[in-house]
Amino acid sequence: MKKIIKSIDKPLFFISMLLFVIGLIMIFSASNVTAYMKYSASPYRYFFKQSVFLAGSFLIALFAIRIDSKYYRGWFRFFLLLVTGSLIFLLLIYGTAKNDAISWIDLGFFSIQPSEFAKVLVIGYLATYYEKHKNDLSKFTTCFVPLVLPVVIAILIFRQPDLGTTILFTCIVAFIFFIVPIAKPIKQKVIFLIVGIMICFALVFVTGGQDLLEERQTSRFDFRNPCSEEKFYGSGNQVCNGYIAINNGGLFGVGLGNSTQKYLYLPEAHTDFIFAIILEELGLVGGLFIFVLYFLLIGRIIKIGRDSYTMRGAVICYAVAFYIAIHILVNLGGVFGMMPMTGVPLPFLSYGGSFSMCLIMALTMVQRINIENKLEEASVKKLAKKN
């Protein structure tokens, strides 16, 4: 274990830990009023639950970091099949949701979201598959065989219905497909296929296919002018109250714990809209500090991928960097009213057990790649000395 600790990327570890600590503090600050006033529970309710999720995830990470990444394909394929079965179970037992997405399996003491795990599991699975078949990536069947399971999962997530997770999961799969050195003619055909599907979907949607989506989903596409009179008490209420929180914060914020919008004005203050509370309490300066941490974190992950001796390691790191970046962009895009709200959590900061576990799993994979880079580097140096 000492060798593993010595070989992990220290900057990545400390930046990650700092972001998790900031997240815990802000979750407590943003949720204590909701816990007490809305649920008559302890103000520490969400803080304690998030702490348990993080502690449990770190314990699992201590075991997972020992697993060589070359074994990810078998492990991750098994868990992807488990996720697929869980999604089918949800749809068969609970049926199709009318108003809310059926995304959670209630285990009594906590709930898990299978579709959240699929986003990380597919990274390890595809990275290891494509490396194993890296000499056959000019064959159409070899390139598409591993995509069958992700496509099935994407359809099941869409049927829950959870449009936001479907889009993010599909984007991650597409990103991996296009960064892998697959033959150019195959990629061109896939681009034409994707464009064709998008055009067909758009035509179906415009000509009466709105029934494919729930009313609550279609209403999210009308995200402009959230503070208008007709939207303030409806679809624009959350975003508009977020604007109020951001405006209250100014440059230096109103002080930690002093948010007014968390007093039940801003729904989901500790989850989707936690960044609005951060800007209200810590101001623009606090928000920029978090952006700098995000930038350093993603840059560090990309560097580990660039230093990798295997295609597997590089793909895993680049995909994890994309996974984190796209969650940041989609969440903040919704908070700032630049795109529809999709219920996507903000990495490290939003409350959520399943997402936090997945994020730690993704970071553990990256650290494992860094360990393997160090082992390979030591092996190369040792061989050079002998020669």
pLDDT digits (tens, 9 = 90+) for 182-220: 888 888 888 887 777 778 766 766 665 555 555 555 555
Percent of the chain with pLDDT over 90: 42
Burial of 306 (0-12, 13-18, 19+ CB in 10 A): exposed
Rounded to two decimals, the pTM is 0.90
Burial of 269 (0-12, 13-18, 19+ CB in 10 A): buried
Q: Using an 8 Å Cβ cutoff, are 146 and 125 in contact? A: yes
361 three-class SS: helix
Tell me, what's the pLDDT at 334?
87
Is 235's pLDDT higher than 80?
no
- Quick one: DSSP state of residue 101? -
Is 18's pLDDT higher than 60?
yes
- 147 versus 90: which is more confidently predicted? 147
Q: Best-predicted range by mean pLDDT among 93-107, 183-197, 337-351?
A: 337-351
By C-alpha distance, which of 321, 96, 121, 111 is closest to 214? 96
By C-alpha distance, which of 94, 83, 99 is closest to 156? 83
Mean pLDDT of the chain: 85
Separation of CA 162 from chain center: 14
- 267 versus 285: which is more confidently predicted? 285
Distance CA 244, CA 264 (A): 13
What is the number of other CB atoms lying within 10 angstroms of the CB of residue 252? Answer: 12
Q: Please, which pLDDT band fits residue 99 given cuts at 50, 70 and 90?
A: very low
Q: Using an 8 Å Cβ cutoff, are 332 and 345 in contact? A: no
Q: Please, which pLDDT band fits residue 40 given cuts at 50, 70 and 90?
A: confident
Is 138's pLDDT higher than 90?
no
The residue-averaged pLDDT of 347-370 equals 94
> Across the strands, what pairs with 111?
106
